[in-house]
Amino acid sequence: MVGSEDNGKIILVLNCGSSSLKYDLIKMPHRQSLGKGLVERIGEEKSVLEQKSGERKLVIEQKVKDHHEAMELVMKAITDKDEGIINNVSEIAGIGHRVVHGGDKYASSVIIDESVVAAIEEFIELAPLHNPPNLIGVQVARSLMPDLPQVAVFDTAFHQTMPPHAYLYGLPRKFYEEFKIRRYGFHGTSHRYVAARVTDLCKRHPSNTNVISCHLGNGGSVTAIAKGRSIDTSMGFTPLEGMIMGTRCGDLDPAIIGFLMERGYSSKELMKVLNKESGLLGLSGVSNDMRDLEKAADEGNHRAKEAIDCYAYRVRKYIGAYSANLIKVDALVFTGGIGQNGWRMRERICRRLENIGIFMDFKLNKEMGSKEGIVSEAFSPVTVAVIPTNEELQIAIDVYELAFSGKNEYRRRETDFVVGIKRP
């Protein structure tokens, strides 16, 4: 077990889903993960906690009726005498919560108070699947550890620097004014982290660096980042807009919705189709997993190959569009499950981008696999990099910056992106 005797601060990072609770204990400013775990099947007859800390692994199977019990189980697991991570819960200095939607109210991570709790609840209307469990996690943690500083880190916050011409839709203004219909963007914590990391790798400063970040996983988004600030992103009012994803359709003609409704589909049925039955799964009829599609395509499945080509084409389109608006691109970053692990997909995307200064070293890209590093040719005007995302670490950085930074305690590195962080 690791204690805090060397003056570090242990931050507990929580990511609450509807039936899960993911956690990580990170020591700051060392940026060291001490151990992490996941409670799954909350509310079912047989719930499971799995925790890893170095070579130690702990598995607990028991009924966990709600998130309050899940949090109590986490406290028990992390202080387990034999397989725990810390000696005592009192070693935890602060808590960071992943929260999906902060609307247009939060352009930064914030220390949680009653107004923040009310805002998370207010924006349930915009994120009905995610904000409710995020809110439960906040409420449970505050009830169990009321004296600790707790910070909300919003997925949408990083994109609040987008200008109106990027976030407004071509709809009657009243829809924006009355219903807040606009582009919000998601994956902000991931985009912020990898943009900081690639700036580090390139030994550059964010003030003169423009980045296109591709978070490619079952859900995916592409973001244009100018001087450390998001200026456009592919996801919109919801995570449904943008590139083709695992089961989401991405961009499509909105008239298709009316066309299908006239033929008997209800809005509820269509939302299920667009979110759960489209994308790579819908196009291929095989799977939403890129690994399965690659295998099927290699075996001659034409639909799987088409789905892969559609995916690469859409990502490439966004890179081209953002390159035009950034004018100068310094780095192209790949992250997420597909972006980090899918060397073949990275190659497909980059093979036709030489005209905008993106020259991938295809041999190096294959050899790099899923490891962090630069995969562009030495002469490439744009650096192409693979960066494993670490949203938990970014959340811990924000908690430490907000709750514990002081003149003698912590000085933020110039290469860290903490755009718009504000103190309460």
Active-site annotation, residues: 155
Parallel, antiparallel, or unpaired: how do β-strands 21-28 and 331-335 relate? unpaired
Confirm if 236 and 242 have CB atoms less than 8 A apart. Answer: yes
SS (H, E, C) 325-374: HHCCCCEEEEEHHHHHHCHHHHHHHHCCCHHHCCCECHHHHHHHCCCCEE
Report d(CA 198, CA 415) in Å as an integer. 9
Parallel, antiparallel, or unpaired: how do β-strands 32-40 and 47-53 relate? antiparallel
Residue with tokens 């994308």: 279
**Cβ-Cβ contacts under 8 Å for 83 (sequence gap 6 or more):** 51, 53, 56, 57, 58, 77
Report d(CA 229, CA 108) in Å as an integer. 12
Confirm if 258 and 252 have CB atoms less than 8 A apart. Answer: no
Residue 29: asked if its preceding bond is cis (omega within 30°), the reply is yes
Report d(CA 179, CA 171) in Å as an integer. 12
Report d(CA 417, CA 196) in Å as an integer. 5
DSSP 45-105: SSEEEEEEETTEEEEEEE---SHHHHHHHHHHHHT-TTT-SSS-GGGEEEEEEEES--TTT
**Cβ-Cβ contacts under 8 Å for 376 (sequence gap 6 or more):** 332, 358, 359, 360, 361, 382, 383, 384, 385
Cα(first)–Cα(last) distance of the chain, in Å?
34
Q: What is the DSSP letter of 406?
A: -
**Cα-based torsion angle of the residue sequence 198, 199, 204, 207 in order, rounded to the nearest 10 degrees:** 150
**Cβ-Cβ contacts under 8 Å for 336 (sequence gap 6 or more):** 190, 214, 215, 216, 217, 220, 389
